[in-house]
A and B are shown apart, each in its own frame.
Chain A
């Protein structure tokens, strides 16, 4: 059985205007989880709970075998954390920050840090207040990666990056993934980034986990079936149909359990299938959120 890097069981947190409800999350060692949700869905709160920065009101959190928040210090030695709203000290240089990290982490890898400096085209002598958003994100990533963490937690790291900086960051993360023992939790509302590097996807909305599966399973199960229906066609009561859109005789149904049987059932209901399309992760994500909101508030 593969060890778990992160395990959240029935975790809840109550605020006046927001509730995190029954969060169950498991990330195996060496895996990359994309944690996707709209703004305000609860991604950052969940991440801060698993780092011990916010204490859960209910449930159990275990990170790298340590119970959180009680054993957060022991866990944090092996966690690299980067978030979009994280800032380095503006009056200090990157070199100063690197020395600080080196003085704290015995596993700090000078050679790797030098490699990353070169790869990210960062200048160690530059004061952090003078760097761009992209350079700041790369600097944060460098500081997190060169400490050689077993778990990398990234909270919206690519938000606001220009396409070139985003490519650099994602490329480095792809390299990191090659280390099979390192786990990554990557939160974002940008499904394109998540799709590139994740092998497991979890959707969260309004403080609830709405779906958590392997990326390939998601992409294999979801399909859009375009059809033409001259007579009466209704998808009501058809199992496995998540969404139906019609415009005159043309229409499309979305299924989350794609198989030949589903296609047959749609045909039998009076539709002529004209195309079967794979869906992007973004489309799957939006369909999941819409369905979840309907279920919560019918």
Chain B
């Protein structure tokens, strides 16, 4: 594995997309600021929506611009003329997209958790927030995998739409889980067996999706 070339490709992507990444981080921080400074239910909702929107858009921008866009805009022939294999290229894309997403996601989730746990908002809400934020990560892994494997902008847009709709269904579904729904007003947070099972399933989904993406990429014989 040509690690230095993988790092170079990742640095290239950072150079190209850092403005969008930083802008969305700032948008998320603004959302959190609204939650902290507003202290009303209305500002909590507005700030929360802004935060989640920033995380969702970040995933879409990373996948659409750096993976699907690279093929659509015909940059791929240029990149693949470099001393790199299709497998190394895929590694670079997966690591860059998921790392860039993870950093912003982790910063915003940590800040959001700090806000929830340090404010009058019931700590029990974290029983909803943690699986929800992890579900956003699942969506990112799925979008990345589908975009890389399908090599299609159409498939990328479809999976993005499906993920964004799916996350709402996911939220509606998990609030019905008694161990989660019953904690919304609770001043203390309790992680129970069903919540651990849900988090475990989400982590497994992420690992399987990334593994499957790499497996399918390695089997490809025609890359461009």
Q: Which residues of A contact B (CB under 8 A)?
A: 48, 51-55, 72-74, 76-77, 79-81, 83, 85-92, 96, 100, 103-104, 140, 144
Contacts and interface: CB of A to CB of B under 8 A. Distances in A.
A104 B78 contact: no
Nearest to A79: B81
Q: Which of A83, A103, A104, A140 has the most CB of B within 10 A?
A: A104
Contact of B85 (A72, A85, A103): A72
A76 B84 contact: yes
B16 A73 contact: no
Nearest to A96: B15
Contacts of A92: 15-16
Interface string B34-51: 000000000000000000
Interface of B: 2, 5, 8, 12, 15-16, 73-75, 77-78, 80-86, 88, 221-224
A100 B8 CA distance: 8
7 contacts: A52-B85, A72-B85, A85-B74, A92-B15, A92-B16, A96-B15, A104-B82
Closest 8 CB pairs of A and B: A55-B221, A81-B81, A76-B83, A87-B74, A86-B77, A53-B224, A54-B222, A77-B83
Contact of B5 (A52, A88, A96, A104): A104
A145 to B, nearest CB: 13
Nearest to B223: A53
A76 B224 CA distance: 16
Given A54-B223, A104-B8, A86 B78 contact: yes
A91 B74 CA distance: 14
Contacts of A77: 83
B83 A73 contact: yes
A139 B217 CA distance: 31
B89 to A, nearest CB: 11
A78 B17 CA distance: 29
Contacts of B75: 87-89
Given A73-B2, A77-B83, A88-B78, A54 B224 contact: yes
Contact of B77 (A72, A80, A83, A104): A83
A73 B74 CA distance: 21
Nearest to B83: A76
A88 B8 CA distance: 16
Nearest to B82: A104
Contact of B81 (A51, A89, A91, A100): A51
A73 B8 contact: no
Nearest to A45: B222
A74 B84 CA distance: 9
Contacts of A83: 77
Contacts of A104: 5, 8, 82-83
B222 A55 contact: yes
Given A77-B83, A86-B78, A87-B75, A103 B222 contact: no
